[in-house]
Amino acid sequence: MKKSKFIKSTITPVFIFAFFTIFLAGCTAKEEKKIKQSAVKVTVQQIESHGEEEELSFSGTIEADNSVAIGFSVPGTVNSVRVSEGQFVNAGQLLATIDATEYDNAMLIANAGLEQAEDMFTRLSGLYQKGSLPAKDFIEIKTKVAQAKANKNLSVKRVNDAKLYAPMSGIITAKSIEKGAMAAPGVPAFTIIKTDLVYAKVSVPESEIGKVVKGQNAKVFIGTLNQEFLGKIVIINPQADPATKTYSVKVQLKNPGGKLLPGMITQTKISTGASMNAITIPATAVIRDADDITYVYVADANQKAIRKRITASGVQGNDVIISEGLQEGDKVVVTGQTRLKDGASVTL
């Protein structure tokens, strides 16, 4: 009887220990299976740097070759306006006129005065040559003739100034007068921009201005037109902007069709001619978060997804050129990255 109790008391702890051992083993197996099931299937691309021609990229805008505000140089009432805003005009084209009645009459008076002075000069010059006229009187009549000529020239100019002509070919971007309005000297009536040549203006930081040289070729992409144009750097402002510490650079572009309009957004690329080791990754691998931060996921040796912030310096076809954040040998996740979190398990 005692032996039976001993056997029973011995079997019970052994049974309990075995049960927990099996239970824990089963839990461990389930956990391992769960972990394996939660790993995200991804595709990676190992980074290899390769030699590329250095290309600087800047955002900017299109500027007109020239812009001028013009107006009447004499006062008067506007009696005709021949052009409208947005219209292309040629150099010398009549734009507007003012009532020139007052100036026409003034010119008639000036002509009459000149004729009178010249007639008096003709009659008195004969007397002066014979010695019958004092030199003082002869000089006085010569002065009156000169004054009469100047008065006539001034009157002719005022009559001409009653008509406003385009000083250059271009587009009317602003019209500030209407028929019946009063025109005044120094008040702009029209603004004309010249756009047969335009400039892509960009701001270059101090760290890169040394790589930009006048005469360099540049490629200018206009997103609005979905078209790329070729140009040359013609202006490098030697004075940095005091606020941004950047230098203004202008790329000249031909614009025969008038498609390039001032204000259009540009992406300008300038080849420096230097060679550099570039790291490129597919654009689809790049993720941008709500804070406008760009990053990628990299698979480490333990098959964990590591989030890495990156800085892009440009594009090359369907790839993005990375300047900071990655190095040669990194395995960048190129598919499946949208389902990842930092530290998540991945399967390749």
Residue ranges per domain, the chain? 40-53+277-347, 58-65+195-275, 75-99+162-188, 100-161
At 123 the pLDDT is: 86
Alpha helices in the chain (DSSP H): 2-38, 101-130, 135-161, 206-209
Kindly tell me the burial class for residue 142, based on how many C-beta atoms sit within 10 Å of its own C-beta (0-12, 13-18, 19 or more).
middle
CATH topology of domain 75-99+162-188: OB fold (Dihydrolipoamide Acetyltransferase, E2P) (2.40.50)
| pLDDT > 60? residue 187 | yes
* pTM score, whole prediction: 0.60
Cα 153 to Cα 147: distance, rounded to the nearest angstrom:
10
Mean predicted confidence (pLDDT) in 19-40: 51
Q: Helices 135-161 & 101-130, crossing angle to 10 degrees? A: 160
User: Looking at domain 58-65+195-275, which of 3.40.1210.10, 2.40.30.170, 3.30.70.260, 2.40.50.100 is its CATH number?
Assistant: 2.40.30.170
Check pLDDT > 70 for residue 169. yes
β-pairing, 88-89 with 43-46?
A: unpaired
- Exposure string of 216-235, with b = 16+ CB inside 10 Å and e = fewer, is bebbbbbeeeeeebebebee
> What is the pLDDT confidence band of residue 51, given thresholds at 50, 70 and 90?
low
Mean pLDDT, residues 206-223 taken together: 93
Report the pLDDT averaged over residues 69-95: 95
Domains 40-53+277-347 and 75-99+162-188 share a fold: no
Instruction: Tell me the Ramachandran region of residue 329: left when phi exceeds 0, alpha when psi lies from -120 to 50, beta otherwise.
Output: left
Residue with the two structure tokens 């769960």: 34
CATH of 100-161, one of 3.20.20.20, 1.10.3720.10, 3.30.930.10, 1.10.287.470: 1.10.287.470
Instruction: Look at residue 257 in the predicted model and tell me its pLDDT.
Output: 84
pLDDT the model gives residue 48: 80
CA 308/CA 300 separation, integer angstroms: 12
Mean pLDDT of 339-346: 90
The string over 294-328, giving b where at least 16 C-beta atoms fall within 10 Å of a residue's C-beta and e elsewhere, is ebbbbbeeeebbbbbebebbbeeeebbbbeebbee
Q: Please check whether residue 234 is in contact with residue 213, taking contact to mean a CB–CB distance below 8 angstroms.
A: no
- In the CATH hierarchy, which top-level class contains the domain 40-53+277-347? mainly beta
Identify the band that residue 126 occupies on the pLDDT scale cut at 50, 70 and 90: confident
**pLDDT band at residue 127 under the 50/70/90 scheme:** confident
